[in-house]
Amino acid sequence: MATVSDAGDDIADAAVPEGVDLPEGLEPESADSDVEEGAKEVPRGLPLRVKGLRKEFGGITAVDGASFDVEEGSLTGLIGPNGAGKSTTFNCITGVHEPTAGDVFFRGEEITGLAPHEITRRGLVRTFQIARQLDEMTVLENVMLAPGGQRGESIARSVVPGLRGGVVEQERELREEAWETLEFFELDHLATEYAGNLSGGQRKLLELARALMTDPEVLLLDEPFAGVNPTLEEKLLDRIHDLREQGLTFLLVEHDMDLIMENCEHVIVMHQGRVLDEGPPEQIQDNEEVVEAYLGGEV
C-alpha cells in the first residue's frame, strides 16, 4: 500500500484507465516541469498528489514543504500533533488558502490556487473540523443544496413559466436522492428539522451526507469524529467503509490514534509542517520519531 514515488511506475502501467486523456506533450524531453511530471504519473491509482506544499502566515510557516500521495480507493489517515499543519494542508489543497509554494494535483491536473468551488466540482470535496451546517435551512435543504449542475440555479430557468418544468422535475429527482442519502446516514427522521437544531454528532453526519451529494471522488474529512459519541462514531465509520467499498477515496485528519491505526491502511504523519513519516499503521507505530512527536518531544 506504500505510495511513495518509486512505486509510480508499476501503478502507472497497471492503471491507465479508459477515458483518461493522456496529455500530448508527454515525451520525456518535455517532462521536466512539475506540472508535466505530475501529469506523466497520472495514474488513476493516485488521484491526489501534494508536492512540496508550503504555506506561510506572516512569519509563521504552517506547512513547510509537505509532499504525499493519496491512493485510489484508500482510507488514508493524516495525523500529527496540534499545530502540525494538518488543517492548513487541507485548506491549501481545497483552495481555502492559496499555498505560498508547492503544487497540488488532482487526477493528474494541477489544481493549486483554484477557487474552492472549482476544486469541489472536479470531485475533490471536503468537510470541516467544526461542522458548517446551514442553520436556518432544513436538513433536507442542506442536502439538496449540494449537487452540482442544478438547472434551477439559473434565475431565468427558475422563473420563466415554460422553463420551470425542467427545474421542478430535476428537483423531484434530487429530493428522492436526498431522502436516500439521509436514510443512509440515518438522518431521515430529522429531514424537516432545521440544521441548527441538530446535535454535534448529527451535524457531522449531515456534513458528510451533504459532501456525498456533490458526487465526489475523493473526500477530505477534517476530524469527522471530533465531538461525536462512540455509537455515532461507529456508525459514521461504517458509512465511510461502505462508501470506500463503492470506490470513494478518503483522506482523514484525526487525533484518535487507535481509530486511525484500526481503520486506515496508510498513515501520513505530519509534524511542524512536514511529513515526518508515512506508511502502513504498523510501520508508523514502530517509528520512535512519531512517538516522540506525539509525546511532545522536540525533534
Partner 1 sequence: MSESTARDALDPLRALFAHDAAKVTAMFLAIWALFYAFGTVLGYGNNGLLALVRRVTFLAAVYGIVVLALNIQWGYAGLFNIGVAGFMAVGAYTVSMLSGSPTGVPPGLGLPLPIGILGGMLAATVVGLVAALPALRLKADYLAIVTVALSEIIRITYNTPAFANITGGASGFDNLPTSPANALLLSDPSSTISEPTAVGEAVFSLFAQFGIQRFTAINTVYTVGVLVVLLVVYLVLERAGKSPFGRVLKAVREDETAAQSLGKDTQNFKVRAFALGCGLMGLAGILWFAMGPRASVTPVTFRPNITFYIFIALIIGGAGSNTGSVLGGALFASLLFEAPPVVRNIVTDAFDVSADPSNLIEALVPVAGGDLVPLAGFLLNNIDTLRFIGMGVLLVVLVQRRPDGLLGARKETAAGVSLAANTRPDRSDAAGNGGGDGE
Q: What span, in angstroms and rounded, lies between the C-alpha atoms of 254 and 6? A: 27
For residue 151 the three cell numbers come to 438547472
Size of the site for partner 1 (CB under 8 A): 56
Q: What span, in angstroms and rounded, lies between the C-alpha atoms of 278 and 290? A: 10
Contacts of 209 (CB under 8 A, 6+ apart): 143, 181, 182, 184, 185, 187
276 binds partner 1 (CB under 8 A): no
**Which residues, 117 to 146, sit near partner 1 by CB under 8 A?**
117, 120-121, 125-128, 132-138, 140-141, 144-146
Q: What span, in angstroms and rounded, lies between the C-alpha atoms of 36 and 26? A: 7
96 binds partner 1 (CB under 8 A): yes
C-alpha torsion 156→158→164→170, nearest 10: 130
Nearer to partner 1, 33 or 229 (CB): 229
How many other C-beta atoms lie within 10 A of the C-beta of residue 9? Answer: 11
- Which x/- pattern over 221-240 shows residues binding partner 1 (rule: CB under 8 A)? ----------x--xx--x--
Q: Please tell me what DSSP assigns to residue 52.
A: E
- Which x/- pattern over 33-62 shows residues binding partner 1 (rule: CB under 8 A)? ------------------------------
Q: Please tell me what DSSP assigns to residue 148.
A: S
Figure out which of the listed residues 18, 27, 59, 155 binds partner 1, where binding follows CB under 8 A: 155
Cβ 87 to partner 1, closest distance in Å? 13
Nearer to partner 1, 184 or 294 (CB): 184
Q: What span, in angstroms and rounded, lies between the C-alpha atoms of 87 and 253? A: 8
Bridge partners of 50?
Answer: 68, 104
Residues that bind partner 1 (CB under 8 A): 94, 96, 115-117, 120-121, 125-128, 132-138, 140-141, 144-146, 148, 150-155, 158-159, 164, 167-168, 170-172, 175-176, 179-180, 183-184, 186, 188, 191-192, 194, 210-211, 214, 231, 234-235, 238
